[in-house]
Amino acid sequence: MVATYDSRDVAAFMLAAMQRQADADAVDDDPAAAYRTFRSAVYARYPGLSEAQFAEALQLAAITAEDDAKFARGPNNP
């Protein structure tokens, strides 16, 4: 059964999971394993999440991360 979740909630969880992995340097050690762990965490938190919703939330998370990085750099450093 496919469940429906708010993509913003899923994206926020994804961003937090990515940050935890970055803090643990998991991505640098083994990117493929880090992605599998990330994906497993998302599906454990959101059972029944469809592939389309996963992709949509991942895209939203990427856009949010990019916007946050631009904001952190400030207006004079695009």
Q: What is the pLDDT of residues 3-60, one digit of tens each?
A: 789 989 999 999 998 888 878 776 667 888 888 988 999 999 999 999 999 999 999 9
In terms of pTM, does the model score above 0.85? no
Residue 72 has pLDDT above 80, yes or no: no
Residue 16 lies in domain: 7-73
78 in a structural domain: no
Residues near 1 by Cβ (< 8 Å), separated by ≥ 6?
Answer: 48
Classify residue 47: in a domain, yes or no: yes
Q: Is residue 2 part of a domain?
A: no
Based on the structure, what is the number of domains in the chain? Answer: 1
Residue 71 predicted with pLDDT over 70: no
d(CA 17, CA 13): 6
Count CA atoms within 13 Å of residue 27 on its CB side.
Answer: 9
Residue 1 in any domain: the answer is no
